[in-house]
Amino acid sequence: MQTLSEITPFVNEPFTDFSVEENANAMRTALEKAEAAFPIVARLWINGEDREGSAGTFDSIDPSQTSRVVCSCAKAGKDDALDAIVGASKAFTEWSRKTAEERAEYLFKAARTMRLRKHEFSAQMVFEVGKTWAEADGDTAEAIDFLEFYAREALRYARKQPITPYPGEDNEMLYIPLGVGVAIPPWNFPFAILAGMTTAALVAGNTVVLKPSSDAPGIAMMFMDLMKEVGIPAGVLQFCPGSGGEVGDTLVDHPLTRFISFTGSAEIGMRIYERASKVNEGQIWLKRVIAEMGGKDFMFIDEDAHVDKAVGDAFAAAYGYQGQKCSACSRLILHEKIHDEFVEKFLPLVEAATMGHPSDFNNYQGAMINEKARQGALDGIENAKKEGNTIAAGGEVGDEGGWFLKPTVITGVGRNDYVWKEELFAPVVAIHKVASFEEGVEASNDTIYGLTGAYWGKDEAKIAIARRDLHAGNLYINRKCTGALVGVHPFGGFNMSGTDSKAGGRDYLMLFTQAKSISRGK
């Protein structure tokens, strides 16, 4: 176990430079190894034992080559979910009494192993969820960051907390764990977010039942295998893949569940929030919900912005990982004085984007996660046409054997239009023209969401107003609205974007604890 004096300050994991041939060859080897192993098999892990699911099995499909099954996964039923919760509750007492140093060491060990095998995890995501090399590598780097950051945070929370001294008493305040938590991560960051929300809860002293996304059970199983390898005790972390309606509801509703950590759509997040608010028979607490629920994110390019830089950043923010990031730019708000110049420079980038299987390094864009997601985007594009918007680029499916959708630009979009209001979670950008800075601020805030946004301009007085008035949990000035780094940009949003949990920030572990004040007379 590392001593406190041996623990270095947190530093973000560097991204892999694939222009270095050695790195590129290592990634190609990992891709070949992953592809040769498909379909991999995932089983439940409950109370330290592998088991088949009582509800059968389900498959995850390579979205960029839909004939390929990536993972065949055991499917939990209600009884499995009940066993997982009860087992996690039994394991809580012993786990919660371990020191912060003991729990942190599991995360440090896991991070070291992740670093050694990073291309293996990245390769799995290339095939299972359609990430390019760079996007998958970023996901893996973020997973490492979360483990390293939260392990250090647990040690900080365990230190003596500053309180006001009082004569005649010895006083202290401790952060203690909550109990059994349910982690429900998304498919779009199936390693980073899964690892982050799970290990934050664990290192704070809680036990966790993990229900991974049904689109990404393979990478979730790789995480579980890693945690088994570093010796996580039986029952402390349970693996319970299954349907939201049966397994998810059972886990959320159970009276032994103390908190639910969720990342996903607003629709499902609201459903969880509502169900968790009910006090069920035998429940002696109010459940806590930590939710991140997406967004309708903006980049407002003002009249004095550096247009060339803004064009490049907007392209990356809109179409990186097929626009399937909760932080992705889906609303481009352009001042009328730079509108035409911006669009003229933006469209060639969009039209030149290469699309195909992301295992080929030369492809910028892979497929959308599944047919339902692509059809939802196509429905949004059809709505745009009916409302008189112009499809300036894209709007069509690809023919590469997967769920491809060409990067799409829609111009002439009004603030009552469908593509302005609805989160398509797709490579689709709506462009809206404004006549003034004030109108741009108003348009930027014209959404039920409030996750990320960016303002581009040079006037310091306007920047000061933008900092104050643009309502987003993560606001960027003169840079893209994606790419938050652990520890650097604590991440979480306002309004229907969730509970502003600020993952990767110094407040995050507090959400998995409760404060206990102890006073002793002298």
Q: To which residue do tokens 């630009």 refer? A: 409
Q: To which residue do tokens 């626009």 refer? A: 323
169 catalytically annotated: no
Sign of CA dihedral 357, 186, 115, 480: positive
3-state secondary structure 110-164: HHHHHHHCHHHHHHHHHHHCCCCHHHHHHHHHHHHHHHHHHHHHHHHHHCCCCCC
What is the helix (H) or strand (E) element at residue 102, kind and residue range? helix 100-116
Instruction: With beta carbons less than 8 A apart as the criterion, state whether 208 and 88 touch.
Output: yes
**CA-based radius of gyration for the chain:** 23
How many beta carbons lie within 10 A of that of residue 436, not counting itself? 12
* Residues paired with residue 454 on neighbouring β-strands, in sequence order: 299, 476
3-state secondary structure 211-261: CCCCCCHHHHHHHHHHHHHCCCCCCCEEECCCCHHHHHHHHHHCCCEEEEE
How many beta carbons lie within 10 A of that of residue 467, not counting itself? 11
* Residues paired with residue 183 on neighbouring β-strands, in sequence order: 210, 261
Sign of CA dihedral 397, 398, 402, 405: negative
Q: To which residue do tokens 């004095």 refer? A: 304
Instruction: With beta carbons less than 8 A apart as the criterion, state whether 41 and 50 touch.
Output: no
Looking at residue 89, its amino acid is: S
Instruction: With beta carbons less than 8 A apart as the criterion, state whether 302 and 462 touch.
Output: yes
Q: Give me the catalytic one of 120, 142, 153, 292.
A: 292
326 catalytically annotated: yes
* Residue 39, both tokens: 């379909």
Residues whose CB is less than 8 angstroms from the CB of residue 123 and which lie 6 or more positions away in sequence, other chains included:
27, 30, 31, 33, 34, 136
Question: With left for phi above 0 and alpha for psi between -120 and 50, is residue 56 left, alpha or beta?
Answer: left
Cα gap 360→133, rounded to integer Å: 8
* Residue 197, both tokens: 């929300």
Instruction: With beta carbons less than 8 A apart as the criterion, state whether 451 and 298 touch.
Output: no
- Find, among 295, 372, 282, the residue nearest to 326 by Cα: 295
Q: Give me the catalytic one of 71, 73, 240, 326.
A: 326
How is 437-470 classified by DSSP, letter by letter? Answer: HHHHHHHHT-SSEESEEEEE---HHHHHHHHHH-
Residue 82 DSSP symbol:
H
Catalytic sites, residue numbers: 292, 326
